[in-house]
Structure 1
Amino acid sequence: MKNIIKEKSFAFAVDIVNTCRNIQTEQKEFIITKQVIRSGSAIGALVREAEHAESKKDFIHKFSIAQKETNETLYWLELLEATQHLSNSLFIELHYKATELLKLITSILKTSKTKLNN
């Protein structure tokens, strides 16, 4: 069975790592890119952790952290763009993908919380 959030979060992490690697090589910017790699790759890692959650509450907790990491990634992407380390076109692409992940994660959280309370 296809797991959209698992696939999209992994693909996003790959995009983030490759983008930051290019910025590090070409622009020698390491501080912000390390933060982006950390938060951008944590999303997929948390989704994977949630697959084997110990309980519904644990599942919700892991997805809540993934939601925070996605929001943090959006911040770092905005900062990279504002400081001209990221082209506008690449920013738009990555921002769109992160926003899409945020919407998926938020939807999963809402559904899971509703099921937990019923």
Structure 2
Amino acid sequence: MDKIEFVQQMQKRTKEFVLRSIRLFRSLPKTEEARIIGKQLLRSSTSVGANYRAVCRARSQAEYFAKQSIVVEETDESLFWLELLVEAEIMPEAKLGNLMAEVSELLAIFSTARKNTPTEKRR
């Protein structure tokens, strides 16, 4: 797979993650805690999709690294909210397991990409 195909595949995967998060939000119980956690998940997951697109349009290595860092943070936050939905017994793990596995895989990919980014002033 070449770089262009990889980027296209990742754009598709991040958009699908956002859509799955939206569908999950719609299916949450109508409780206050589910609504609060669900909204947090919507914010972080949509940020993953939008910021990954920005990563693909970065004009410099520094901009790429900065945007990729946002993607890593937001992906990790999304995983956190999914874990809370399960651990707070708002949603069964059986319903969220595949989505959590996908987010974990995306997080590993984004973290590796960030780690392998050559930057002059990375601290």
Q: 1:15-94 to 2 correspondence within 5 Å?
A: 15-23=20-28, 26-28=29-31, 29-94=34-99
Q: TM-score scaled by structure 1? A: 0.87
Q: 1:76-115 to 2 correspondence within 5 Å?
A: 76-113=81-118
Shift in Å at residue 110 of structure 1? 2.3
Larger relative contact order (CA 8 Å, sep ≥ 6): 1
| Cα distance in structure 1, aligned partners of 2:114 and 2:105 | 14
Q: CA RMSD in A?
A: 1.4
Shift in Å at residue 111 of structure 1? 2.5
Q: What is the aligned residue count?
A: 113
Quick one: percent identity of the two aligned structures? Answer: 27
Q: Which amino acid aligns with 1:49?
A: A
Structure 2 gaps, min length 5: none
Q: Deviations over 1:43-90 (max 9, x none)?
A: 111011112212111011001111000111111111111122212112
Q: Which amino acid aligns with 1:60?
A: F
The question of whether the paired residues in 2 share the 8 Å contact of 1:81 and 1:87 is answered with yes
